Chains A and B, each alone.
Chain A
Amino acid sequence: DVKVTQSSRYLVKRTGEKVFLECVQDMDHENMFWYRQDPGLGLRLIYFSYDVKMKEKGDIPEGYSVSREKKERFSLILESASTNQTSMYLCASSPPRGPLHFGNGTRLTVT
């Protein structure tokens, strides 16, 4: 079975801190995605990557950056966390055109 692992289930950070959310997949998938999920807004795509060192902006990239130095790892970076970035963050991976496999999410609270 494909496994997508997000490093933390819950995270609490202070406003202005630099935050790293890590995601690792074990199926050699080319594509990786970061979404955030908020009540009433569904899942919104922040960034995605289709290869090592490649990235594309999603629908809401402002305030975020990403890093993909190795195929199995995709990191989401909040350069200076703000309270409006309090959310559930979901990572996913997929082969090209194939089904997405999601992690269980990281619930980030910024105080």
Chain B
Amino acid sequence: DAKTTQPNSMESNEEEPVHLPCNHSTISGTDYIHWYRQLPSQGPEYVIHGLTSNVNNRMASLAIAEDRKSSTLILHRATLRDAAVYYCILRRNFGNEKLTFGTGTRLTIIP
């Protein structure tokens, strides 16, 4: 299974953009890149996903490298409510639906 690598923790100031990196050097051509976040005392929630092109939604933007070996989740203007653990995972477009989460990046927002 393709793996992802994320920094254990990051800090950012409130109201500034945040760039959360993820490396996935063994990604296959049909793997989608998914991002989830987990707020304290809650289950993870879906944030965004993409295949090749950059993606935007109301929560965040996803920038995918041209070679697809890395991606960056962008929070355009961080708020205190964005403090969470962020997970980057790969999801196959065929076959086995086994989904493995790593330990994610714990994002701290400084007021």
A-B contact count (CB 8 A): 54
B97 touches A41 (CB 8 A): no
Tell me, rounded to whole Å, the shortest Cβ–Cβ distance linking B63 to chain A: 19
Q: Spot the interface stretch: A11-19, A62-70, A71-79, A94-102.
A: A94-102
Cβ–Cβ < 8 Å partners of A42 in chain B: 87, 101-104
Contacts A43-B87, A97-B91 given; does A33 touch B44 at CB 8 Å? no
The interface on chain B, measured as residues whose beta carbon lies within 8 A of the other chain's beta carbons, has a size of 22
Tell me, rounded to whole Å, the shortest Cβ–Cβ distance linking B93 to chain A: 6
CA distance A42 to B103 in the complex (A): 4
Contacts A97-B32, A97-B93, A100-B36 given; does A45 touch B99 at CB 8 Å? yes
CA distance A42 to B97 in the complex (A): 19
- A91-111 CB mask vs B (1 if < 8 Å, else 0) is 010001101111111000000
Of A50, A59, A103, which is within 8 A of B100 by CB?
A59
B46 touches A101 (CB 8 A): yes
CA distance A101 to B91 in the complex (A): 14
CA distance A4 to B43 in the complex (A): 10
Give the B-binding residues of A (Cβ under 8 A): 4, 31, 33, 35, 40-45, 48, 50, 56, 58-59, 90, 92, 96-97, 99-105
Q: 13 more A-B contacts (CB under 8 A) besides A42-B102, A100-B99?
A: A35-B101, A42-B87, A45-B98, A45-B101, A48-B98, A92-B43, A97-B93, A99-B46, A100-B36, A100-B46, A104-B41, A104-B43, A105-B43
Give the A-binding residues of B (Cβ under 8 A): 32, 34, 36, 41-46, 49, 87, 91, 93, 96-104
Would you mind naming 25 contact pairs between A and B with Cβ atoms under 8 Å apart?
A4-B43, A35-B101, A40-B103, A42-B87, A42-B101, A43-B87, A45-B100, A48-B97, A48-B99, A56-B97, A58-B98, A59-B100, A90-B43, A90-B44, A92-B43, A92-B44, A97-B93, A99-B34, A100-B46, A100-B99, A102-B43, A102-B44, A102-B45, A104-B42, A105-B43
